[in-house]
Amino acid sequence: MLWFLLLPFRLLFGVVFGLLALPFVILILPFALILWLPFMILRLALKLAVGLVVLPIVAVVMLVGLLVGGIALAAAILVPLIPLLMLAFVVWVVWRLTTGPAKAGHYISS
């Protein structure tokens, strides 16, 4: 609760000392950029190199994952249908055995 009580004073001192430090920051900024810029360029180059090496690996792993997921989805849909497919096959075999062979000239219209 003391923090809430002292918050306006902290904000006031932060704004006052920030305004007092502003001219010094503006004077020092070009020197800081001269020292900071090469390190940022090096960081960008390293991130780019790592990205170019890692990106193909990630793409291959993603494609393999999508393939495995597609196979799993197809299996999840088709496995419950196996008993119905077996029943349909048995009905088809029984129907083919009971109807007998088709005659050669039966479907030819003269």
Q: pLDDT digit string (tens) for 79-88?
A: 999 999 999 9
Is 65 within the bounds of a domain? yes
pTM (global) more than 0.95: no
The number of distinct structural domains making up the chain is 1
| Tens digits of residue pLDDT in 49-65 | 999 999 999 999 999 99
Q: With a cut of 90, say whether residue 33 has pLDDT above it.
A: no
Is 106 within the bounds of a domain? no
- When the pLDDT of each residue in the chain is averaged and rounded to a whole number, the result is 90
Is 34 within the bounds of a domain? yes
Query: What's the chain look like in SS3?
Result: CHHHHHHHHHHHHHHHHHHHHHHHHHHHHHHHHHHHHHHHHHHHHHHHHHHHHHHHHHHHHHHHHHHHHHHHHHHHHHHHHHHHHHHHHHHHHHHHHHHCCCCCCCCCCC
Domain of residue 69: give its range: 8-98
Q: With a cut of 60, say whether residue 110 has pLDDT above it.
A: no
